[in-house]
Amino acid sequence: MKARVSWHLSIFLMFLFSLFILQGCGGGSGGSSSSSPAPTQNGNVSVTLTDAPGLEYDHVWITVKDIWFHTSNAAGPQEAGWLKYPLSSPATIDLVDLTNGKMANVFTSLSLPVGNYQQIRLFLASTEDPLVVNPNPPAGQSVALKYNNEVDLQVNSSSYQAPLTIPNPTHGIALFGSFQVTAGGALHLAIDFNAGEDVVKTISGLNPEFILKPRLAYFDLDNVGAIAGAIDPSVIQSSTVTNGGFNFVIKAEELNASGTYHIIRRYTTTASDGTFVLYPLPASTSGKTYDIVLRGRNVDTVIIKSVPVTKGTTPQNATSLGPAILMNYDNTEYTANFSGPVSPTGSWSSFCQTLPGTDEVPYEIRLRHVNPYTGKFEDPIELSTGPISVGTYNNGSAITLTAKNPAEGLGGYKVALDAYQFTRAYTANITGQPGQQNVPIAPVSLSAQQGPNTLSGQLNVPAPNLGLDRGYILASRDGIIVDAINAGAGGTGIMASGGAYSFALPGGSASSPLPGAFYALHAIGWKIGSKLTTLSVAIPRVADLRTGSDTVNLDMLKVVP
């Protein structure tokens, strides 16, 4: 049954993305071009890719096609002024391999006009398009890829290649920030993926499928440093340590701008011997420190405070945490999931704990995206009930760890929800007991940072009625699914014969525009039990919420007779 779902989604998305291209909605094509006159002074920019750990997967393959640059953070993908750099041959990269400071060089010595750039768009090949890569297996892969972007994992002890859907690849994945290109200068940027958290499982069972919800960041490699350490291998699960810890994640955290909670600057995982490197980490000549959070399954969390990072250090000469850290084995997990859908369904959830003390604020211990179709986790999340072992950096010497109960209590977590262009909100704190299953998390609705504006319209289903009883309407922006409406049975039900739909999404007004508030809108419907014989998609449309609400009608088309 799941394979059939993959098949109909593939047909739908091939149709969808080809329509985007035909309608001129942007894309990763063309040579180095711009609507501006040819510049007289240029600098060189190189771009590498790196990743945080994807511990549940054997491989996460993506196929990179183009990169675009713009001097305005308000420019939409259809607007003028983009500098476009396609690869002569698309590059297929395994994100899982890019941990502990390892990087993939993708774009080298791009010639950019002098100026201040505020937006990058990275373009991946559509998953459902014909393979654009060499049909031979890539390095590290025993079989040829099935999709341009795919997740390889073990399902019931068998290897499985699952499609990794890229929402609206013709608009690219947007990164916002600011970097300066100087005459004759050389700039080295690293774009950071997070396969462990931003690859979202959407269908459970023997044949899972995945969506990439990329919250990308980039680093200037001339202003970074490295921190290195190790977890004592005696606690790591192996053939000889069968009850050890596993799926270790190491995070460098610092306070957010308001000082109210910690945010993540870099993730990594351990090598087989327990060693790890956090690189690249933003650094400065005046000095910068991070708190390092070490987390794993079946072990208590460790927090090491005030670890310095020095600008210019690399994985080869990193700041050392000192002797290997002995984490406490503690198999006392419970699982949790939302009792109902969160809003918007494109949200992600951070599970935070706070050290005791009046000056302490929450640390992010775990993070997971909700399924954008259901607004809940596809699989319940596992949470530890153990104490936190806390120590302070000791100039490379052994660190003394002290067990402390979090302010939320043993097994207690402060649960935060975030979404693209929405304001963070907190649910009621949760607490679980060892072995407890599916502790309920109260869902919340987030508020738009600006707006919200209404994106509404009519879903038109052709006559004679196709008998559609399942389906979704999806709104995405800058490569991320923001929200989805269940239009089938159990939802609004309008997929059966048509009807009105409405989203409330971040947008602007005439007096206070919201730059870049373009939303790609599309829909898919099918008949339960007849996915291969009754499949319908809507002609994709683009809504403009920059200065107000918008109305977009969607016309369903029967594409499988």
Assess whether 440 and 464 both reside in one domain: no
The answer to the question of residue 231 being in a domain is: no
The answer to the question of residue 337 being in a domain is: yes
DSSP, collapsed to helix, strand or coil, labels residue 13 as helix
Residue with tokens 């649960």, as numbered in its chain: 415
Assess whether 460 and 438 both reside in one domain: no
DSSP, collapsed to helix, strand or coil, labels residue 128 as coil
Residue with tokens 């995945």, as numbered in its chain: 210
Backbone angles phi, psi at 470, to 5 degrees: -135, 145
The answer to the question of residue 28 being in a domain is: yes
Assess whether 398 and 535 both reside in one domain: no
The answer to the question of residue 109 being in a domain is: yes
Q: Which of 220, 199, 216, 290 is nearest to 251 (CA)?
A: 290
Assess whether 267 and 381 both reside in one domain: yes
pLDDT of residue 464: 64
Task: Please state the domain count of the chain.
Answer: 3
The answer to the question of residue 110 being in a domain is: yes
Among 421, 447, 473, the domain-final residue is: 447
Assign 196 a pLDDT band (cuts: 50, 70, 90).
confident
Give the contacts of 200 (CB within 8 A, at least 6 positions apart): 210, 211, 212, 213, 369, 371, 372, 378
Paired with 193 in beta bridges are 51
DSSP 222: G
Which tokens in the block code for residue 202? Answer: 């959407």
Asked if pLDDT for residue 28 goes beyond 50, the answer is: no
Distance CA 424, CA 363 (A): 15
Assess whether 146 and 105 both reside in one domain: yes
Distance CA 344, CA 452 (A): 12
Among 447, 472, 505, the domain-final residue is: 447
The answer to the question of residue 246 being in a domain is: no
Assess whether 142 and 17 both reside in one domain: yes
Assess whether 97 and 8 both reside in one domain: yes
Cβ atoms of 48 and 189 closer than 8 Å: yes
Distance CA 47, CA 535 (A): 40
Question: Tens digits of per-residue pLDDT, 140-183?
Answer: 666 788 889 999 988 777 888 888 888 878 889 999 989 999 99
Assess whether 467 and 436 both reside in one domain: no
Which tokens in the block code for residue 131? Answer: 């393979």
The CA angle 431-433-435, to the nearest 5 degrees, is 135
The answer to the question of residue 525 being in a domain is: yes
Q: What is the CATH number of the domain that holds 551?
A: 2.60.40.1120
Question: Tens digits of per-residue pLDDT, 312-337?
Answer: 999 999 999 999 999 999 889 999 99
Cβ atoms of 46 and 189 closer than 8 Å: yes
Distance CA 232, CA 249 (A): 14
pTM for this one? 0.87
Amino acid occupying residue 112: L
Cβ atoms of 159 and 44 closer than 8 Å: no
Among 447, 472, 506, the domain-final residue is: 447
pLDDT of residue 559: 66
Q: Which of 280, 283, 284, 271 is nearest to 229 (CA)?
A: 271
Asked if pLDDT for residue 17 goes beyond 50, the answer is: no
Distance CA 494, CA 538 (A): 13
The answer to the question of residue 241 being in a domain is: no
Distance CA 281, CA 220 (A): 10
Distance CA 440, CA 450 (A): 30
Of 160-169, 181-190, 382-391, the range with the lowest mean pLDDT is 160-169
DSSP-assigned letters across all residues of 165-201: E-SSGGG-EEEEEEEEE-TT-EEEEEEEEEHHHHEEE
Assess whether 282 and 403 both reside in one domain: yes
Pairing of strands 302-309, 388-392: parallel
Question: Tens digits of per-residue pLDDT, 82-96?
Answer: 999 999 889 999 998
Assess whether 208 and 260 both reside in one domain: no
pLDDT of residue 40: 59
Asked if pLDDT for residue 511 goes beyond 50, the answer is: yes
Cβ atoms of 197 and 213 closer than 8 Å: no
Distance CA 405, CA 330 (A): 14
Assess whether 415 and 486 both reside in one domain: no
pLDDT over 90 percentage in the chain: 61
Cβ atoms of 420 and 477 closer than 8 Å: yes
Q: Which of 362, 117, 145, 407 is nearest to 263 (CA)?
A: 362
Assess whether 435 and 501 both reside in one domain: no
Question: Is residue 16 within a helix (H) or strand (E), and if so which, with residue range?
Answer: helix 2-22
Domain extent, residue 327, equals: 253-447
